[in-house]
Structure 1
Amino acid sequence: MAGSSVEAEQDEKEAQADAQAGGLDADSAALLARLSRNIRHFRGQRGMTRKNLAEQSGVSLPHLARMESAQGNVSVVVLGKVAKALNQPVASLFADEDARTGDFNLIVEFLKRQPVGNLARIREQIFADYQPTDGLRKDRIVLIGLRGAGKSTVGQALAERLGRPFVELNREVEQEAGLSLQEIITLYGQSGYRNLERRCLEQVVAKHPQVVLATGGGIVAEPLTYEILLNAFFTVWLHAEPDTHFRRVMDQHDIRIAKPALYREAMDNIHRTLEARDHLYRMAAFDVDTTQRSVDEVVARIAGQMGA
């Protein structure tokens, strides 16, 4: 088994080298190498020859040979045909090796069969078994929510009341990179920024046994990072009515939008973002609507939840 794993790793490295030799950048070559490895893996699991796969998928033998040697781009339609023939979702063709273990796949299939209403309860049970107790988690508090929810203002006041340091994750990211957030995204893209964000979050956890942390609004869309938040912090979702979010963001930058069309566009974006993230924000342990509440009132509600 160990020899097989080493051999597969060597095959992937060779495929990646071949892809790079064909003029692809390192990230694209790695993606094609992962695809080729996974097709061979799932084909081997099913005892299928390449000819069998060609017959069942309708993809030609030469095309499959190129895919399995990480050569050339592949269309979405072809990927769909190969995945169907292997009885796998398309996403699994790009999965990391750890995601192909037997336990992982069985757990995923079990979760897929559960009614949506059961998933929150299952998550809570898993977290209760494998993460710190509520008492330990409440030593670290994290505020999540859309921009304009009041995270920075409330966070500073809450930290002062509880006698804990206050940290803004975005400022930590900027300090780590020596660049502004916009410069980080411009130079390294969203992927680079999110990797840096996760690293800074891990540093905050290691450095601060007690802290109040404010995060960027989109952090909940990063599963790996959000799992760290839910695991290591008592998570509080601050939210407000869309008009309130808009007004607060405008006030922060002393901006006034006079054109109705621009206002509508901004409001549409807030509504879409809230709708897309709503189910993620609702995973927080506690939430406060800040629309009609003063900072002191919001702080008092959170402190009361902490027993302070």
Structure 2
Amino acid sequence: MASLARQVRMLRAQRGMTRKQLAAQSGVSLPYLARVEAGTGNVSLAVLHKLAEALNVGVETLVTEHTAHNGDLLILIEYLRQQPADVLSRLRRQIVAPGAGDARQTGQRIALIGLRGAGKSTLGPQLAKAMGAPFIELDKEVEREAGIAIGEVITLYGQAAMRRIERQCIERIVAGHEHVVLATGGGIVSEAPTYERVLRAFRTVWLRARPDVHFQRVMQQNDARIATEALRNEALEHIHRMLDARESLYRLADITLDTSDLTPDAALASLKARLGPAKAA
């Protein structure tokens, strides 16, 4: 039960979901979910299926602890699942052969990942202008595709539907743009199939910041969701939980840039200096 409780808490945090949101989307009562996350409730197979569906994962993910903690393993498993038998055979031989290499092609697709407040919407347009490439915000593409606000997509249709639309948008961007700067939503790393595609098709940059910096930047956006002191404390704790849950996945990015103490101009200069050639699909 302790392992399941850790898994549910971790997966919920990776997706930026509150306990109340998970309860509403899964149909599991809030008190029951609290007991599950505390490791004190008896969990039926039906409840496992409800939670797995709401979190958009397989039931096996809930009962296999290491998949939520080891980012490299998560992405490798997803990649291997998509390969035909002959490719799997070749990869197996390459892995066990000493000195086997994995040369990567280069291109000009850049994907910015990280929590809200890291600087994606600030640095993205500036970087795109410097590259002579379009700047695309994935959340806006999802909203355009769905015809409603992204929060409403999740509320009305759930995580699974939102992630399917997100993946469709990414595939369309990859097909239509050889050169592009893409700002992704913070939770994209929690969806292994989509994140694996982004890692293959783009050069990825994790824009990170200290939790207090994330919080201050969100505060500057006059977000009504943190209008009171109690809500602000809850929001800061939420940022801490999300960073802890997602860090191993964010670290899979090609480049990590801490924007905490950098001006936008300094962050852009540092990013441009570090990018170099970028990889393509």
TM-score when scaled to structure 2? 0.63
Q: Which residue does the alignment assign to 2:102? A: 128
Q: Partner residue of 2:190? A: 221
Instruction: Give yes or no for the alignment of 1:190 onto 2:159.
Output: yes
In the TM superposition, what are the counterparts of 1:118-267 in structure 2 within 5 Å?
Answer: 128=102, 132-133=104-105, 135-136=106-107, 139-253=108-222, 255=224, 259-267=228-236
Deviations 1:250-285 (A, max 9, x none): 212355957443222111111000000000000000
- Give 1:217 deviation, angstroms: 0.1
Q: In the TM superposition, what is the alpha-carbon distance from 1:299 to its structure 2 partner?
A: 1.1
- CA RMSD after TM alignment: 3.6
Would you say the 8 A contact 1:250–1:256 is kept in 2? Answer: no
Aligned to 1:301: 270
SS at structure 2 position matched to 1:128:
coil
- Show the 5 A alignment for 1:50-65: none
Give how far 1:184 is off: 1.4
**Residue 225 of structure 2 contacts residue 231 of structure 2 at CA under 8 Å; is this kept in 1?**
no
Name the SS of the counterpart of 1:142 in structure 2.
strand
Q: Which amino acid aligns with 1:169?
A: L
Give distance in 2, aligned partners of 1:185 and 1:256.
17
Bigger RCO (CA 8 Å, 6+ sep): 2
State whether residues 127 and 231 of structure 1, in contact with CA within 8 Å, keep that contact through their aligned partners in structure 2. no
Shift of 1:187: 2.1
Please give the per-residue CA displacement for 1:144-202, whole angstroms capped at 9, x wherever unaligned.
00111110111011111111110001111111111111221122111100000001001
Cα distance change on mapping 1:261 and 1:91 into 2, 3 Å? same
- Which has the higher mean CA deviation after the structures are superposed, 262-271 or 217-226? 262-271
Shift in Å at residue 295 of structure 1? Answer: 1.0
- The answer (yes or no) to whether the contact 1:237–1:287 under 8 Å persists in 2 is yes
The separation in 2 between residues aligned to 1:237 and 1:216, in whole angstroms, is 12
Listed one character per residue, the Cα deviations across residues 225-265 of structure 1 (whole Å, up to 9, x for unaligned) are 00111001010000111111111112123559574432221
Counterpart of 2:102, as a letter, is: A
Query: What secondary structure is seen at the aligned counterpart in 2 of 1:266?
Result: helix
Aligned AA for 2:167? Answer: R
**1:283 corresponds to which letter in structure 2?**
L
Aligned in 2, Cα 1:103/1:91: closer, same or farther, shift over 3 Å? Answer: farther
Percent sequence identity is 51
| Structure 2 gaps, min length 5 | 1-42, 49-58, 62-79
1:127 Cα deviation after fit: 9.6
For structure 1, the residue ranges without an aligned partner over 5 or more in a row are 1-73, 80-89, 93-97, 111-120
* Residue 128 (structure 1) shift: 3.0
1:276 aligned residue (233, 240, 245): 245
1:179 aligned counterpart, secondary structure: coil
Partner Cα distance (2:84, 2:174) in 1: 31
TM-score normalised by the chain length of structure 1: 0.57
Distance 2:269 2:258 in 1: 13
The answer on whether the counterparts of 2:226 and 2:235 sit within 8 Å (CA) in structure 1 is no
Contact kept, 8 Å, 1:145 with 1:237, in 2: the verdict is: yes
Greater fraction helix: 1
1:75-115 CA deviation, whole Å, 9 max, x = no partner?
439x9xxxxxxxxxx729xxxxx96x9969x99xx9xxxxx
Structure 1 Cα separation of the partners of residues 229 and 127 of structure 2: 37
